[in-house]
Amino acid sequence: MKRTDWLVKNILAKKGWFSPPFQTEKELRDILQKLYKETDIHVDGSMVYFRCVK
């Protein structure tokens, strides 16, 4: 597990800064592509930025 993943899961989530569930990139892409017609997804370390159109 990467340091940032550990930090998010064990420290920042407990402080309320992040909320589970923590999907993998593939899991998130699959979920968004099922729900939306158009998806634009960018991954930067442990952060994901996305824009979706129904």
Q: What's the confidence (pLDDT) of residue 1?
A: 62
Q: Is the pLDDT of residue 15 over 80?
A: yes
Question: How far apart, in whole angstroms, are the C-alpha atoms of residue 37 and residue 9?
Answer: 31
Rounded to 5°, the CA angle 4-22-28 comes to 115
What is the distance, to the nearest Å, from the Cα of residue 4 to the centroid of all Cα atoms in its chain?
13
Query: pLDDT tens, 27-36?
Result: 999 999 999 9
Q: What is the C-alpha to C-alpha distance for residues 4 and 12, in angstroms, rounded to an integer?
A: 10
Quick one: pLDDT at residue 27?
95
pLDDT, the chain, mean: 91
Prediction pTM value = 0.66
